[in-house]
Structure 1
């Protein structure tokens, strides 16, 4: 997920480090008006992806935990932690502060959680 969100950049956001420019690229607490917005209304990343920052958190397959275990061969996912139940959500949401839209930001939710700031992104290989 983070590779796609960064779009080849090594900066805080795929467009650079300036948080002052975030309004052009993401919906978050300061500009969303307490609601989610339609897809593709902010600029696309260098990979042509929309809405990787802000608007809705996105489910990932990653279990919540530290980066202390090695990835599994071929998939980049960490080994299942003992007793792990929470999953990582990424991207930030319309009700979160601007720093939640950072490419590296991780948040957690229970797999059964359902709310208006959480979604998923289908990916086709």
Structure 2
């Protein structure tokens, strides 16, 4: 059963990384895509899901709520009977990318500024439906 919890924890970690990459790279894709004329980057579903994703992150940091994916992953790792965040090679390096040390206010400012930048793209490059 311990192996199942380890696998599930790794899957949650990969999901967490995928969401982080979507939030970070999504903003880059909006700017680059508009510069290169990619219409799909202004698709309302893409833009709304991107805005919602960073909105959840900003809300969590302002409300001082730990990310549910982090909580779930730590619980799953704890179920293996080992120390939380000790494990596989992949797990170690993904944690190095996702979890870093800084004062809480740094994250609040960074996430808020990033969220405002994502929101600003709605005015700079408004979402569009269909053909231009």
Q: Which TM-score applies when normalising by structure 2?
A: 0.28
Q: Which TM-score applies when normalising by structure 1?
A: 0.29
Structure number with the bigger relative contact order (C-alpha 8 A, sep ≥ 6) is: 2
Larger helix proportion of the pair: 2
Larger strand proportion of the pair: 1
